[in-house]
Copies of this chain bind each other. A is one copy, B any other.
């Protein structure tokens, strides 16, 4: 499906996106999902996630504030999703910052087949077995481009991989796209990465072309961050900016995306 068609599809089909996510940005993820036209459900009790994911069109697993109970829920929901061919989108928040986080992410990926993974460069690098120490949940610095990293990770992890950054890269190992939208203010608001993953989840809920869905999701986030920064007045800061990000997501459509997105396909390495 063409990426430009996905916006209307999401608003028409209202995919239910089951998200087992963190308690920091869960409200932002729910609102971002609603803003793009999806329907969020955030339950994470191991007692009901299997029944809930059966109703969903996509499953998002976000590592922001993992603990033993949420990991148990992720495993149950993930296996059910695999059985039912419901796409799984993983956000390895902060992987690389602590051994617990890194080990549990690796274990999770061993236990299920994942359709899309979105993280910053250091998180993706660590998922591949790299040894950069992530500083908290922020990204580190790597010597290869996001596009190269996305491609290598997509090959190794057998998944569509999205590497977020100043330029975002998306690869399914045979194709790699680079999106050059965004604004530095995006790093000054919590949850922008998590919301990007939620958006990818919504798009994966309406198409089996997860590469296009991943591009639609990450570019919607970066472009919304760019649009939200326009016309900010001198006395408006990150509070107003955050509100306008959601505004921009809720206004995003084929027309705005088509005229504003800055995307190109990378020549294979």
Is there an interface contact between A247 and B251, defined as CB atoms closer than 8 Å?
Answer: no
**With A and B bound together, what is the CA distance between A99 and B24 in angstroms?**
28
Is there an interface contact between B243 and A135, defined as CB atoms closer than 8 Å?
Answer: no
**With A and B bound together, what is the CA distance between A138 and B31 in angstroms?**
14
A16 CB to closest chain B CB, in angstroms?
A: 5
A43 is contacted by which of B48, B65, B68, B249 (Cβ under 8 Å)? B65
Give every chain B residue within 8 A of A99 (Cβ-Cβ): 48, 51
Interface string of A38-51 (1 = CB under 8 A from B): 01111111011001
Interface of chain A residues 64 through 79 with chain B (CB within 8 A): 64-69
Choose, from A81-89, A123-131, A187-195, the stretch at the interface: A187-195
A102 CB to closest chain B CB, in angstroms?
A: 10
**A41-B94, A51-B100 as given contacts; A190 in contact with B27, CB under 8 Å:** yes
Give every chain B residue within 8 A of A44 (Cβ-Cβ): 65, 67
Give every chain B residue within 8 A of A69 (Cβ-Cβ): 67
**Which residue on chain B has the smallest CB distance to residue A35?**
B238
Chain A interface residue count: which class? 35 or more
A241 CB to closest chain B CB, in angstroms?
A: 8
Interface string of A114-155 (1 = CB under 8 A from B): 000000000000000000010111100000000000000000
CB<8 Å pairs between A and B, sample of 9? A35-B188, A39-B136, A39-B138, A40-B190, A41-B97, A47-B68, A235-B247, A237-B248, A242-B243
